Amino acid sequence: MSDEKKTAAYICKGCGLGDRLDCTELTTIAEKEGKAEIVREHEFLCNADGVAMIQKDIDEGANRIIINACSRRAKTEAFNFENVAMTRANLREGVIWSQPDTDDARETTQEMAADYVRMACAEIKFMSIPEENPEHGSNKRLLVVGGGISGMTSAIEAARAGYEVILVEKTGTLGGMAAQLYKRVPDHEDYADPQDTGVPEMIAEIGADGLITVKLDSTITRTSGAPGQFSVDITKESGVTETENVGAIIQASGFTNYDANNLPHLGYGKSPDVVDQAGLEALARAADGGAIKRPSDGKEVTSVAFIQCAGQRSSKKGELSYCSGHCCNTSIKQAMYFKDANPDVDATIIYTDLRTPGNGEDFYRSAQKKRVIFTKGEVSEVTTSGDELEVKFNDLILNEDTAMNADLVVLATGQVPNSGVNIEAATPVSVDEVEAAAEADESRINTEVDTGTVQEVSVLNLTYRQGKDLPHLRHGFSDSHFICFPYETRRTGIYTTGPVRRPMDIAQAKEDATGAALKAIQAIENSSLGRAAHPRSGDLSYPDFRKENCTQCKRCTVECPFGAIDETEDGYPLFNESRCRRCGTCMGACPVRIISFANYSVDTVGAQLKAVDMPDEFDEKPRMLVLACENDAYPAIDMAGMNGKRYSPYVRIVPVRCLGSVNTIWISDAMNSGYDMVMLMGCKHGDDYQCHFVKGSELANIRMSKIGDTLQTLNLEPERVVDYEVAITDIDRIPQLINDAAEIIENIGMNPFKGF
């Protein structure tokens, strides 16, 4: 392959393109303005003949390919060529399908198509061919941190798939919380009785598996490196440290029981006969199927009351605001401990909402059959009277304040994640944010610090510049988008599983841990090929920066959502390409614009937006630029076209990897080029973010809030730059937003910089 650039442009006439567009004019544009060496029209470019035609040109030296046909999201198998840089002008979804097929519309439709051809030709000039990251590592071993149900399951599953595993557990035995249980909630038909935990069997399987190495009484005292090449210090209680190399890490550090000492009104700490669920498991293990005795005087319990949601689903300070998900089933199971040993024991469960996910409904029914009493009520207080406890509550069905006596009271408290130190409590997420906060004299940072759940001890001790542990999302649970990308944390190659991710029970943890193991394997395999992990799985491009121009502003190192960039001793950013997700947020952040990818850069987008043919002020043809996130916004726009939704022909749409990659220079370039409006369309940000790169759209939003001032100093209306949160389902809303923009322009007038 030669380094010589040879550009070939192809114009498809299929799918109605030939009828609706003047393809001869498009060919001329590609030749004359786009300076493509080869320009060919084809009746159906995506068919075997069309693809063969392109391949033949490639074989003969073409290495910059422009497909002027359908959206880049369509026909990806057909237009899939090796060792070339390729771009695609979206003439089908983006032009003929979004514009009416009328004589009136013909002119503006053709203008749109012509501009997209110009833009593609301009973009390709700045693209080079991505090659695999030379810094990649190929270690295929997996480190699992935590030997509870989740960690053991991940280890077993990864070993079954043929991967070597190091399983590190901080205590002296495997099994974690589940090993402390007398029995577990059933996981098989007929979901009627508590069953054995299965922990000894799992420990035996791990012991017998030659691929799994267990390290007990050990913690992780240092983690550095990147996927495929992590280096980890594992330190024994005795102080002896070994260094191991692994390809990916699963953090299954589990949970701690919520401290029931925070609930004195429920009698905890006041009477030994008020226990939490863990306390009851200990009593049940001591009884081992016999009568459970109460702690105070060893009397056999004849009546027991369970209080659900103790210190949970609460708005009180110091209590948990969330539902821990397992505790209703757990109390049902514990009530059965009593009923199974002696049906004459009275077991009452006081709940506000009984939540029995999974097959818990059958389990609940089984408990009713065993005559466990369920009562919907809100407990206000537990008091001691003589040697009996009195539970005061409001019966929500009978609507009255009442009370019952019991020998023993069990509090269903929740799970607090062992997610390590909250690094974002100490580190800001954006440089601009710090400045903005200083200006506004109010801190937008650290609003999410939940003091009740912050932990002091680091789990991974990462050497990453952004902090020792994985970023948290809410309530101290590690940030791992639980719907779109479960297990994935904001540290590439490191996955969380089990209750450190969200509250869960044994059955859920096992399923979760299996998923995490698969994700870790995927990362290991991708990194050994020098490619990106999710969500741009397989992408070969990686960020490159021109060190000589760097001002050491630290924007990239602070703002990378994935902590991929460390710092050298002399203060320069140090890119860890294997940790990078290729979002381009660093590229958007850099004020001197020196970060780029082989096929995506400040220039590739800048050239596109400057390539459009800008009508002058009196043409009454405004131009709107949309920078659309390629994950959700761009597909939504495509789908709008597919569904025949019409939008203004004055818009020009450029896909971007993530709004985080939008460099503000593009906005000023657009304004200087004469666009009347710039619209950013990206995913929802904030706590329930949908941004595929977590912080990208949020950072874009922060940057755009600063742009307003700049516009004003240029005497431009701040309305000219807008930032919309859109979802992939917004196929009606996005065309509306585009059409509304045309109206806004009518109100504020055309961009006065046109033609300068």
Partner 1 sequence: MRDKNAETMQKYHNDFLREVEANVEEGDWVHMCMQCGVCAGSCPLGDAWEHSPQKIFMMIRAGKREEVLTSDSMWMCTSCYNCIVRCPRELPITHIMHGLANYAHRLGIAPKMNPTRRFAKLFWNNIVKTGRVNELKLSISLYFMDGFTNGVKTSLEMTGMGLGMLKTGRLDAMGLLRSHGIKDKSGLHKALKKAREIEDARKGLS
510 neighbors 149 (Cβ within 8 angstroms): yes
C-alpha distances out from residue 624 to 272, 621, 640, 709, Å: 70, 10, 18, 20
Compose the 273-312 pattern: x for residues touching partner 1 by CB under 8 A, - for all others.
------------------------------x-x-------
Compose the 332-361 pattern: x for residues touching ligand SF4 by CB under 6 A, - for all others.
---------------------x-x-x----
Q: Does 537 bind ligand SF4 (CB under 6 A)?
A: no
- Which residue among 85, 309, 409, 667 contacts ligand SF4 (CB under 6 A)? 309
For residues 552 and 712, which CB has a smaller minimum distance to ligand SF4 in the complex?
552
3-state SS, one letter per residue, for 557-622: HHHCCCCCEEECCCCCEEECHHHCCCCCHHHHHCCCCCEEECCECHHHHHHHHHHCCCCCHHHCCC
Q: What is the DSSP string of 141-181?
A: -EEEE--SHHHHHHHHHHHHTT--EEEE-SSSSS-GGGGG-
Q: How far is the CB of 679 from partner 1 (least distance, A)?
A: 49
Q: Which of 588, 596, 574, 594 is nearest to 226 (CA)?
A: 574
Q: What is the DSSP string of 486-532?
A: TTB-SSTTEEE-GGGTS---HHHHHHHHHHHHHHHHHHHHHHHTT--
Q: Does 323 bind ligand SF4 (CB under 6 A)?
A: yes
3-class state of residue 293 by DSSP = strand
Q: How far is the CB of 351 from partner 1 (least distance, A)?
A: 10
For 339, the token pair is 């009923």
DSSP letter, residue 484: T
In the list ligand SF4, partner 1, none, the entry touching 371 (Cβ below 5 to 8 angstroms by class) is partner 1
Do the bridges between strand 544-545 and strand 408-411 make them parallel or antiparallel, or are there none, so unpaired? Answer: unpaired
- Which residue among 183, 490, 491, 555 contacts ligand SF4 (CB under 6 A)? 555
What gap in Å lies between CA 80 and CA 55, rounded to an integer?
10
Do the bridges between strand 388-395 and strand 400-406 make them parallel or antiparallel, or are there none, so unpaired? Answer: antiparallel
For residues 436 and 742, which CB has a smaller minimum distance to ligand SF4 in the complex?
436
Q: Does 328 bind ligand SF4 (CB under 6 A)?
A: yes
- What's phi and psi for 539, nearest 5 deg? -65, 130
Q: How far is the CB of 561 from ligand SF4 (least distance, A)?
A: 6
Q: Does 594 bind ligand SF4 (CB under 6 A)?
A: yes
Q: How far is the CB of 746 from partner 1 (least distance, A)?
A: 55
112 neighbors 202 (Cβ within 8 angstroms): no
- Which residue among 69, 185, 232, 404 contacts partner 1 (CB under 8 A)? 404
For residues 29 and 310, which CB has a smaller minimum distance to partner 1 in the complex?
310
Q: Which of 710, 618, 609 is nearest to 654 (CA)?
A: 609
What gap in Å lies between CA 743 and CA 749, rounded to an integer?
10
- What's phi and psi for 574, nearest 5 deg? -120, 105
352 neighbors 328 (Cβ within 8 angstroms): no
Q: Does 584 bind ligand SF4 (CB under 6 A)?
A: yes
In the list partner 1, ligand SF4, none, the entry touching 598 (Cβ below 5 to 8 angstroms by class) is none
In the list ligand SF4, partner 1, none, the entry touching 395 (Cβ below 5 to 8 angstroms by class) is partner 1
For residues 327 and 637, which CB has a smaller minimum distance to ligand SF4 in the complex?
327
Q: For partner 1, how many residues bind (rule: CB under 8 A)?
A: 21
In the list partner 1, ligand SF4, none, the entry touching 595 (Cβ below 5 to 8 angstroms by class) is ligand SF4
Category of 573 on φ-ψ map: left (φ > 0), alpha (ψ -120 to 50) or beta: beta
- Which residue among 128, 256, 257, 375 contacts partner 1 (CB under 8 A)? 375
For residues 236 and 706, which CB has a smaller minimum distance to ligand SF4 in the complex?
706
Q: Does 560 bind ligand SF4 (CB under 6 A)?
A: yes
What gap in Å lies between CA 89 and CA 119, rounded to an integer?
8
What gap in Å lies between CA 492 and CA 251, rounded to an integer?
12
DSSP letter, residue 233: E
Q: For residue 171, how many C-alpha atoms fall within 13 Å in the half-sphere facing its CB?
A: 12
For residues 564 and 633, which CB has a smaller minimum distance to ligand SF4 in the complex?
564
Q: Does 667 bind ligand SF4 (CB under 6 A)?
A: no
Q: How far is the CB of 108 from ligand SF4 (least distance, A)?
A: 37
3-state SS, one letter per residue, for 444-464: CCCCCCCHHHCCCCCCCCECC
Q: How far is the CB of 688 from ligand SF4 (least distance, A)?
A: 14
Q: Does 402 bind partner 1 (CB under 8 A)?
A: yes
What one-letter code names the amino acid at 568? T
Q: How far is the CB of 660 from ligand SF4 (least distance, A)?
A: 7
Q: How far is the CB of 325 from ligand SF4 (least distance, A)?
A: 4
For residues 545 and 647, which CB has a smaller minimum distance to ligand SF4 in the complex?
545
Q: Which residues inside 335-374 make contact with partner 1, applying CB under 8 A?
A: 344, 346, 348, 364-365, 368-369, 371, 373-374
Question: Other CB atoms closer than 10 Å to residue 385's CB: what's the count?
Answer: 9
Non-local (6+) Cβ contacts of 169 within 8 A are 146, 147, 151, 176, 214, 215, 216, 217, 218
For residues 354 and 598, which CB has a smaller minimum distance to partner 1 in the complex?
354
Q: Which residues inside 410-439 make contact with ligand SF4, applying CB under 6 A?
A: 412
75 neighbors 46 (Cβ within 8 angstroms): yes
- Which residue among 225, 325, 498, 649 contacts ligand SF4 (CB under 6 A)? 325
For residues 70 and 410, which CB has a smaller minimum distance to ligand SF4 in the complex?
410
Compose the 381-400 pattern: x for residues touching partner 1 by CB under 8 A, - for all others.
--------------x-xx--
Q: How far is the CB of 391 from partner 1 (least distance, A)?
A: 9
- Which residue among 69, 149, 565, 711 contacts ligand SF4 (CB under 6 A)? 565
What gap in Å lies between CA 1 and CA 193, rounded to an integer?
68
91 neighbors 68 (Cβ within 8 angstroms): yes
- Which residue among 434, 550, 598, 748 contacts ligand SF4 (CB under 6 A)? 550
For residues 294 and 555, which CB has a smaller minimum distance to ligand SF4 in the complex?
555
For residues 32 and 706, which CB has a smaller minimum distance to ligand SF4 in the complex?
706
Q: How far is the CB of 651 from ligand SF4 (least distance, A)?
A: 27
Q: For ligand SF4, how many residues bind (rule: CB under 6 A)?
A: 40
For residues 133 and 528, which CB has a smaller minimum distance to ligand SF4 in the complex?
133
For residues 241 and 552, which CB has a smaller minimum distance to ligand SF4 in the complex?
552
Q: How far is the CB of 692 from ligand SF4 (least distance, A)?
A: 11
In the list partner 1, ligand SF4, none, the entry touching 348 (Cβ below 5 to 8 angstroms by class) is partner 1
In the list partner 1, ligand SF4, none, the entry touching 405 (Cβ below 5 to 8 angstroms by class) is partner 1
- Binding part of the chain for partner 1, among 124-132, 402-410, 534-542, 586-594 by CB under 8 A, reads 402-410
- Which residue among 241, 537, 551, 568 contacts ligand SF4 (CB under 6 A)? 551
For the chain, the first-to-last Cα distance in angstroms comes to 42
What gap in Å lies between CA 44 and CA 79, rounded to an integer?
12
3-class state of residue 468 by DSSP = coil
- Which residue among 271, 585, 663, 751 contacts ligand SF4 (CB under 6 A)? 585
What gap in Å lies between CA 543 and CA 569, rounded to an integer?
20
| Sites of contact with ligand SF4 (CB under 6 A) | 308-309, 312-313, 323-325, 327-328, 353, 355, 357, 412, 543, 545, 550-556, 560, 562, 564-565, 573, 575, 580-586, 589-590, 592, 594-595
| Sites of contact with partner 1 (CB under 8 A) | 303, 305, 344, 346, 348, 364-365, 368-369, 371, 373-376, 395, 397-398, 402-405
